[in-house]
Chains A and B, each alone.
Chain A
Amino acid sequence: MDALNINSRRSFLKKTALAGAGIFAINAIPAEVFAKTDLVKLTILHTNDVHSHIDPFPSNDPKYPELGGAVNRAALIKKIRTEEKNVLLLDVGDIFQGTPYFNLYGGELEFKLMSMMGYDASTIGNHDFDNGLDGLVKQLPHASFPFINCNYDFSDTPMAGKTIPHKIFIKDDIKIGVFGLGIELEGLVEKRMYGNTKYLNPVVKAAEAAHYLKLDQKCDLVICLSHLGYSARAKQINDVDLAKQSKNIDLILGAHTHTFLDKPIPYTNSDGKDILVAQVGWAGIRLGRIDYIFEKKSGKKASEGYSIKISKKSIAI
């Protein structure tokens, strides 16, 4: 490869090999390497099932004392943005329901905070229907990011035209295609809440969206925002089954089952290619992070993922 001369390659290897404990391989690559080569680094940050947990858990919480909190998450995201050029921040639904913030304000503050943190997109979870379709529509003006879903047909509902099936983001010439999937609502959400929303087969819709993004649009990375659930706890189609059956998807960011995965789990898709499945529990206790490196010419990529626990004493107002 011509782009890197032997000296910078040597210094790259030296610096990365010297990385100490707590420093990750991809994050140990010095910034100058990206400047001199056609390597591009992309940092994906993700949350799921935050469930209106705007304050950190109280100090007397038996399971998660002083963890989470929007102020702390915002600080972490801000810090990462100062260190990384190409950040994509995504949520996988169930933004609503779980604390009195939702009961009193209907999700307004949740959307405002996510907009302030610079979320690029979210999909829709079952609890985002908890104040009905009208309740969701009412809060949409507070969100500066799109809601992405390709298997709910909202055409006969107040949500018609208010979601998009997929979106392509471009970061340093790298094309990232994102599409979203929602869970079957019947038996999970009251009919009066989801009204005439039609649930379409997520496997079929995922195949269509992924084919479009990867093959027609030539995306370098295809991400599925899935509110289907991880595996054993999900009774119907789930992320693990979807990953194995799929093609043209590189990464599934999951939700719904509140599964704490310390790092993305690798699976092999139906084409024999690698696919990762990630999920970071719930309540904004953790932020998921997956760094990708792309080599533009060859189209090759490498990734590294982990989750970051967010902690700090409760904010007092």
Chain B
Amino acid sequence: MNKSLLQHIVVLYAIALLSGCSTAPKIKSVETSSIEFNTQNTAVDSTTYKLIAPYKKEMDKIMNQVLVVADTALTKDLPEGSLGDFVADAVLKKANDVYKPADQVPASICLLNNGGLRAQLPKGNITRGNAFELMPFENAIVILTLSGEKTKQLFQSLVEFNGAPFAGATVTSKAKKITELTIAGQPFDVTKNYKIVTSDYLAGGGDKYDFFKDPVKIDTLNYKLRDAIIDYMIEQNKKGNTLKSKKDGRIKYQ
């Protein structure tokens, strides 16, 4: 800290305050902005510690279970991030595993929101606790059937708001306009309906995903997003797979 500045402020302040002069003293801030408090030099607050202990013990029993190993940290990024790719791929796969519609047509796309990914995954052991922190919400998976026009609007919005976690499609754009769109390996067809996996939160108007309004059909799966992610991790581990950063360029800006 600039000592002379501090002295200056203190003296000014003291004179203003103590002489009763008409201008109000003004110390809005001092040049030092933040300090650090390290409890290593202080006794642990034992009452707080004792209050937490039984909760933590019970929680750790459940949450410390290792589900899978990650070769690299999976991180949040826009327009595309390794974490968003992983979550959208996992949710699309697991949703289709339990989705048994009358028409037997699986969902082709998954779209989530970047804000909904609440923590990144570290390199190494991924625990149940990591999955809870990544997806703490109790949101359930829904499958929306959208018209071709609405699906087009979805991808146009995706391009405009600089990406979001999605799977099942690749989109290329130039000057914020779609130049190429492939869904489930096929060129996009505006005359067709498409099935999109998302959360009940987003389907219900969360994050202003307006293209989800008035879908052709809504199928609600009794399956939480978080459970789908956990099940996918367990499945990958059983297959002997580790989590890898993919970032396959599913969204491109030319």
Contact = CB atoms under 8 A, between A and B. Distances in A.
Contact of A71 (B1, B49, B55): B49
A62 B14 contact: no
B187 interface: no
A71 B38 CA distance: 12
Contact of A304 (B11, B29, B51, B58): B29
Contacts of A21: 1, 3, 32
A37 B39 CA distance: 34
Interface stretch (A109-117, A197-205, A214-222): A109-117
A109 B52 contact: yes
Contacts of B132: 99-100, 103
Interface in A300-317: 300-313, 315, 317
A103 B133 CA distance: 10
A111 B182 CA distance: 49
Contact of A1 (B18, B35, B201): B18
Interface string B131-148: 011001110000000000
B136 A103 contact: yes
B52 A315 contact: yes
Contacts of A12: 14, 18
Interface string A68-95: 0011101110110000000000000000
B34 A293 contact: no
Contacts of A54: 52, 55-56
A296 to B, nearest CB: 12
Interface stretch (B118-126, B152-160, B162-170, B242-250): B118-126
Contacts of B204: 190-191
A161 interface: no
Contacts of B32: 21-22, 24, 306
B26 interface: yes
Q: Name the interface size band of chain A.
A: 35 or more
A79 B42 contact: yes
Contacts, number: 196
A98 interface: yes
B30 A24 contact: yes
Nearest to A72: B39
A258 to B, nearest CB: 11
B20 A298 contact: yes
A62 B13 CA distance: 42
Nearest to B57: A317
Interface in B1-27: 1, 3, 6-7, 9-11, 13-14, 16-20, 24-27
Contacts of A187: 205-208
Q: Is the interface of A mostly helix, strand, loop or mixed?
A: mixed
Nearest to A28: B10
B29 A78 contact: no
A17 interface: yes
B28 A303 contact: yes
B129 interface: yes
B40 interface: yes
A302 B27 contact: yes
From B1, B136, B200, name the one whose CB has the most chain A CB atoms within 10 angstroms.
B136
B45 interface: yes
A308 B36 contact: yes
Given A12-B14, A104-B59, A130-B137, A113 B48 contact: yes
B138 to A, nearest CB: 8
Contacts of A317: 52-53, 56-57, 60
A22 to B, nearest CB: 7
Interface in A2-59: 4, 9, 12-13, 16-17, 19-22, 24-26, 28, 39, 54-55
A300 B25 contact: yes
Nearest to A311: B38
Interface stretch (A147-155, A169-177, A260-268): A260-268
B17 A293 contact: yes
A75 B13 contact: no
Contacts of A70: 48, 52
A99 B27 CA distance: 39
A24 to B, nearest CB: 6
A54 B56 CA distance: 9
B37 A310 contact: yes
Interface of A: 1, 4, 9, 12-13, 16-17, 19-22, 24-26, 28, 39, 54-55, 60-62, 70-72, 74-76, 78-79, 97-105, 109, 112-113, 116-117, 130-131, 186-188, 190-191, 262-264, 266, 274, 276, 286-287, 293, 295, 298, 300-313, 315, 317
6 contacts: A19-B10, A22-B32, A54-B52, A61-B122, A99-B132, A105-B59
Given A25-B30, A97-B137, 6 more contacts: A54-B55, A72-B39, A116-B47, A302-B13, A302-B24, A315-B49
Q: Which 3 A-B pairs have the closest CB atoms?
A: A262-B33, A74-B48, A312-B39
